[in-house]
Amino acid sequence: MPIRTITVVYAPACHFCADAQDALTGLAREIPVRVELVEAGSAAGMALVGAYRPAMFPLVLVDGALFSQGRLPRGKLRTLLGQATAAGPR
């Protein structure tokens, strides 16, 4: 089963960001994912913010593709990861 990469671009003192980080920590115990945290003010964070122009934080990417902005849609993420896991390599 391939390990998916979830990148979270977060801002300091952002309650949606803290909530997403907590949710992803729990998810990583159940599903093989790698969570990358990127501070929005870092060089990498500024590049991602420039590329995706999120209206809200956190900006969440799954395997480098835009997934969400703002509050993390947990059900949608589980569905995406479940479909990818079920499909598996062929």
pLDDT of residue 83: 66
pLDDT higher than 90, residue 87: no
Tell me the domain boundaries of the chain.
4-87
37 and 8 Cβ atoms separated by less than 8 Å: yes
Tokens of 65: 């593709």
Separation of alpha carbons 62 and 20, rounded Å: 13
Distances (CA, A) of 53 to 7, 12, 27, 28, 79: 15, 17, 26, 27, 25
CATH number of 4-87: 3.40.30.10
Residue 90: pLDDT band by 50, 70, 90 thresholds? Answer: very low
Could you tell me which residues are beta bridge partners of residue 62? 6, 65
Amino acid at 36: E
Write the pLDDT tens digit of every residue in 3-55. 899 999 999 999 999 999 999 999 999 889 999 999 999 999 999 999 999 99
pLDDT of residue 82: 84
The structure tokens 């969400």 sit at 68
